[in-house]
Structure 1
């Protein structure tokens, strides 16, 4: 397929889960893909699989993010497609959440997108076009007990995508957020286990009632690719929920 032919894409958190699904789909559809992740073995194997480039970075460290973007750009050219997917979670009762937890999660979930987007945007502006997708969550609008900090970071991602869209709309750049429900990945299953530990009902029955089933990483990746594609040329500053009506009930 030639949906992204001639384009360079960068996927942060691209070594596993929905990030890896996006890497494979982007490559299948013609893009040359830069995979950025701290999981070096998985990331290199995936980059080799799709004929892309791997750059190791802990996205919570701005110097590593900038170095990864520079290395990927030197190898494949400046990315005009960016999937800001890297992220993690802290699940704890609010009164047990520490400032170290706060600093860690804000760095990984929010500051990383700020730094990554700043590093990639000049190349997009030079090319006169660019599309950015940031992974938010249903947690940006649907709060969950024991996830106050996580919810706050995803709310910030929502507004970050909107603000970038508004500032760069007239310079050929689009920025949107994709907002998954519970995803059937190691990250998603870990979230369920942690919430269960703290007494939150995320049983199979509860998830079935809320969103029918766990969504697949490919479903999240496909939604992100739509937002990155020219098919979404007039979609800007939006939040696309991939949650089978979880947030519509």
Structure 2
């Protein structure tokens, strides 16, 4: 535990589980007062080694809910220094199977949500002349998995939102960046792997897709977020930072040509 965020107030949306929870824990470990906004309170009595964050119900798709949430944070803490827009949703469907409701729901959670949060938090950051916003995007804003048309569109939109906020809010001393996770070992992803008959084979093949030879952990995303909300990144704004073990940087090859590379990778790991 450290004190890099001592005296600062940080909001984490979707922070009750998965990557969001890891982010909330990491920021709290550095002495930030963390407020989690989520639809469900999944926090246990024990919250890592840090003090338990404050929880308030939040639906990022509803403007009234966002406004009430920000008002609550200001009444309780008097300021907002960092906003982490983590709440997100994914749908696995082909374009033929996707409905307009599927599309609208993903847009509402993944893109409208970060917009609304930034809209209501930015004026408070502007008053202090400092602040940082971190959006959780995805490598699928650059490259896309099958059946993720709507999801990829929302994450590309988040990347564009980040650029706009960085430019518009920069003169007010507010920075905005995006962390783009690759395949991360979350409960959701583990559940997906359990659907396959040979889970160990899928896990091995997933690891081999990454030049580092493994998938990532939620804490590795949280560490990147911590750096971006800390003063250590004070001249970094408008960036999309991939945390994916270089997976999105490796050009695919036919299996016969890739065999030697994969063999070396397996041996190294």
1:210 match: 209
For the residues of structure 2 that align with 1:233 and 1:191, how far apart are their CA atoms?
A: 38
Q: Quick one: structure 1 residues 157 and 21, their matched pair in 2 at CA, closer, same or farther if it must change by over 3 Å?
A: same
What TM-score results when the alignment is normalised by the length of structure 1? 0.91
Q: Quick one: structure 1 residues 218 and 120, their matched pair in 2 at CA, closer, same or farther if it must change by over 3 Å?
A: same
Q: Which runs of 5+ in 2 are unaligned?
A: 251-269
Q: Quick one: structure 1 residues 190 and 78, their matched pair in 2 at CA, closer, same or farther if it must change by over 3 Å?
A: farther
1:85 match: 86
2:165 match: 164
Could you say what secondary structure the match of 1:132 adopts?
strand
Could you say what secondary structure the match of 1:40 adopts?
coil
1:223 match: 224
Residue pair 1:15, 1:42 contacting (<8 A) in 2 also = yes
Residue pair 1:139, 1:155 contacting (<8 A) in 2 also = yes
1:2 match: 3
Could you say what secondary structure the match of 2:177 adopts?
strand
Q: Which runs of 5+ in 1 are unaligned?
A: none
1:240 match: 241
1:74 match: 75
For the residues of structure 2 that align with 1:71 and 1:243, how far apart are their CA atoms?
A: 35
Residue pair 1:133, 1:175 contacting (<8 A) in 2 also = yes
Per-residue CA deviation, residues 190-229 of structure 1 (Å, 9 max, x unaligned), is 55568x79xxxx9223311222222111000111111111
Could you say what secondary structure the match of 1:50 adopts?
coil
Deviates more, 1:37-46 or 1:128-137: 37-46
Could you say what secondary structure the match of 2:65 adopts?
helix
Residue pair 1:82, 1:131 contacting (<8 A) in 2 also = yes
What TM-score results when the alignment is normalised by the length of structure 2? 0.85
For the residues of structure 2 that align with 1:175 and 1:43, how far apart are their CA atoms?
A: 31
Residue pair 2:132, 2:175 contacting (<8 A) in 1 also = yes
How many residue pairs are counted as aligned between the two chains?
243
1:175 match: 176
Deviates more, 1:56-65 or 1:83-92: 56-65
For the residues of structure 1 that align with 2:44 and 2:86, how far apart are their CA atoms?
A: 14
How many Å apart are 1:64 and its aligned residue? Answer: 1.2
Residue pair 1:78, 1:120 contacting (<8 A) in 2 also = no
Residue pair 1:60, 1:111 contacting (<8 A) in 2 also = yes
Which protein has the larger Cα radius of gyration, Structure 1 or Structure 2? 2
For the residues of structure 1 that align with 2:194 and 2:159, how far apart are their CA atoms?
A: 26
Q: For residues 97-136 of structure 1, what are the structure 2 equivalents within 5 Å?
A: 97-136=98-137
How many Å apart are 1:144 and its aligned residue? Answer: 1.1
Could you say what secondary structure the match of 1:33 adopts?
strand
Residue pair 1:43, 1:54 contacting (<8 A) in 2 also = no
Per-residue CA deviation, residues 129-175 of structure 1 (Å, 9 max, x unaligned), is 00110000011011111111111010001111111001111210000
- Cα RMSD (Å): 2.1
How many Å apart are 1:44 and its aligned residue? Answer: 8.4
